[in-house]
Structure 1
Amino acid sequence: MRSFGNLLIIDHGDAYLSIYGNNETLLKQVGEEVKGGDAIAHVGNSGGNPETGLYFELRHQGQPLDPMKWVSLK
């Protein structure tokens, strides 16, 4: 199974989670509040991937969601 390296999971309530992997450093600790616009991590290649990049996933009740239906790219 592929490693996601330094992984950060944010619980948004109502069984929604956002998952951020392959981070070089995490800027938030367990239980710490996250507000919109907060920096939560520095992206790296901690998952053992040869290239730097972010792993991102959304889940609801344990099931993956299409993130393009939830985020706006600026």
Structure 2
Amino acid sequence: MQRHLFWLIAISSMTLTACGVGESGTAAATAAAAKAREAEQAQRQMQDIKSQLHSAEALQRDRDKALEAAGR
């Protein structure tokens, strides 16, 4: 009887531990996915800012050329 009780407790402990490991793995995967989305969003924002900067630089060059042409 004690042998059966031992195995019952051992199997129950392993099952509970496995559930905990599974939950930890799921939490880690969820956190990793969130970080990946944040990184992708940051990349998109950086590309948008670079695009805006290039547009502003092109506009400034056009203004400089217009001023130079008007001064001649």
Same fold by TM-score, threshold 0.5 exceeded? no
Structure with greater helix percent: 2
Structure with greater strand percent: 1
For the aligned pair, the TM-score class normalised by the smaller chain equals under 0.3
Q: TM-score normalised to the size of structure 2?
A: 0.11
Q: More relative contact order in 1 or in 2 (CA 8 Å, sep 6+)?
A: 1
